[in-house]
């Protein structure tokens, strides 16, 4: 079951109201688990949406020159901390993920690969169609959205703004690297400056 759950999460990242509940009385394997995962992420996502900025004053660290707000960091951190995939060190996983994100973003900016709004929208539409074409996929995404306190439409709007741009960037950069026979991007040694040491010590 964990493999199936991992595939759904990968599709969502590469992730309320009764009318969106599954009409069938039967449940698909993983529904409760993915709903609980959404509930665990709800608070940090709500804060990110409410504070729709990455101001320097609220940053907890700087990665490759990019200020990372507490809200942005915690959304990523909670996805690892509360994942049923049982990550041993969610703080380190989060930092590695953000380092990769910033290195890929820099490469995309330098090579004209930053995704357009049309590319992002097309990616979301394709991903949503792939998930919802099966009843099981619809059930899982609806339960995930419920856990987040969203309708499925609201989740996909969130995905388009906060998650899909990163996924499209990864795809475009990896395709460019493969097409030009370039070495994979290294991000382990990306520069990280911690601004809130006590915050990180508590994680």
Q: What is the pLDDT of residues 120-144, one digit of tens each?
A: 999 999 999 999 998 888 898 999 9
Nearest Cα to 131, choosing from 155, 115, 147? Answer: 155
At 24, is the pLDDT very low, low, confident or very high (cuts 50, 70, 90)? very low
> What mean pLDDT is predicted for residues 28-48?
87
pLDDT score at 137: 86
Q: Which two tokens stand for residue 133?
A: 């074409």
Return d(Cα 78, Cα 37) in angstroms, integer: 9
CA dist 24 to 8, 21, 139, 187, Å? 20, 9, 10, 46
Return d(Cα 17, Cα 45) in angstroms, integer: 18
> What mean pLDDT is predicted for residues 56-75?
91
How deeply is 52 buried, as exposed, middle or buried, from its count of CB atoms within 10 A (0-12, 13-18, 19+)?
Answer: exposed
% of the chain beyond a pLDDT of 90 = 70
% of the chain beyond a pLDDT of 70 = 83
pLDDT digit string, tens, across residues 182-195: 999 999 999 999 99
pLDDT score at 16: 27
pLDDT score at 57: 65
Q: Are 166 and 15 in contact (CB under 8 A)?
A: no
Residue 170, number of CB atoms within 10 A of its CB: 18
pLDDT digit string, tens, across residues 150-171: 999 999 999 999 999 999 999 9
Asked whether the CA dihedral 55, 42, 7, 21 is positive or negative, the reply is: negative
State yes or no: pLDDT of 53 exceeds 80. Answer: no
The beta strands (E) that lie in the chain are given as 59-63, 66-69, 192-194
Return d(Cα 135, Cα 65) in angstroms, integer: 44
């Amino acid at each position: 079951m964990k493999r199936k759950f991992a595939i759904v999460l990968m599709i969502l990242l590469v992730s309320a109201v009764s009318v969106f509940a599954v009409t069938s009385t039967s449940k698909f394997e993983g529904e409760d688990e993915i709903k609980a995962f959404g509930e665990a992420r709800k608070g940090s996502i709500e804060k990110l949406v409410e504070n729709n900025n990455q101001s320097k004053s609220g940053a907890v660290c700087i990665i490759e020159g990019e200020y990372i707000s507490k809200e942005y960091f915690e959304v990523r951190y909670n996805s690892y901390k509360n994942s049923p995939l049982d990550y041993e060190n969610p703080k380190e996983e989060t930092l590695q993920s953000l380092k990769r994100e910033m290195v890929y973003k820099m490469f995309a900016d330098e090579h004209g690969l930053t995704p357009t709004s049309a590319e992002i929208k097309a990616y979301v539409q394709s991903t949503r169609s792939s998930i919802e074409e099966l009843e099981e996929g619809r059930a899982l995404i609806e339960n995930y959205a419920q856990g987040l306190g969203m309708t499925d439409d609201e989740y996909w709007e969130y995905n388009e703004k906060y998650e899909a741009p990163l996924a499209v960037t990864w795809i475009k950069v990896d395709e460019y690297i493969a097409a030009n026979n370039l070495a994979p991007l290294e991000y382990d040694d990306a520069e990280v400056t911690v601004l809130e040491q006590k915050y990180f010590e508590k994680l």
